[in-house]
Structure 1
Amino acid sequence: MLNMKVGESVNEYFARTLAIVNKLRANKGKIDDVAVIEKILRSMTSKFDYVVHSIEESNDLDALTIDELQSNLLVHEQLMKTHVVEEQALKVTLGESSGERGRGRGGMRG
């Protein structure tokens, strides 16, 4: 139920998750940040798998704050977006240099 949705941004997911956590804390009492961090890491979409693994391996989850986790994931989200834009620009550039630009359907008839 609390999984990150495909196409959802890190900020949107964190806002939704933390709203639920805050409601639970108001009703049930203490839910520690480590439990929230572990749940967030388990529920990210598959495109974040390598990032999640990296965070789990390089950080002490007991010392990591929710804000630090969000910052780390935001940086990686921006890198992924930048990579996609650069890849699309490269495809356009390569297509133009191979003579695809300006060709209409059917070619010239004479």
Structure 2
Amino acid sequence: MTETRDWYDARLTHLQFLALYKWNVRVTCDCGRTAVFSGAGLWWRFERKHWSDRLQDVPKRLTCNACKFDRRPRKPPRCEKTRDEVTHPLPMPDDREWRKMVSRYRS
């Protein structure tokens, strides 16, 4: 079972895969504030803006609203996969776009 689990975790390297496997993303700012986004909603936001959806690139695009105008330099927020309930809903992709993305990975 460990081999299967390792393969499963190794595959979750992009927002696209988190969305497919129904994971959410917890974002924690350096100041301690936390938000949980839907994996599909966050993937759709990055897809529409043509940003890289690799998990290592995601924190570079996210900022804390409370710290946004603070002049002190801050580290990028930490992102991790979670099954927690979504606290900040984002617009979800329409059915056509969602099915198109799912069909790429179905086989």
Normalising by structure 2, what TM-score?
A: 0.29
More strand by share: 2
Normalising by structure 1, what TM-score?
A: 0.28
| Structure index of larger Rg | 1
More helix by share: 1
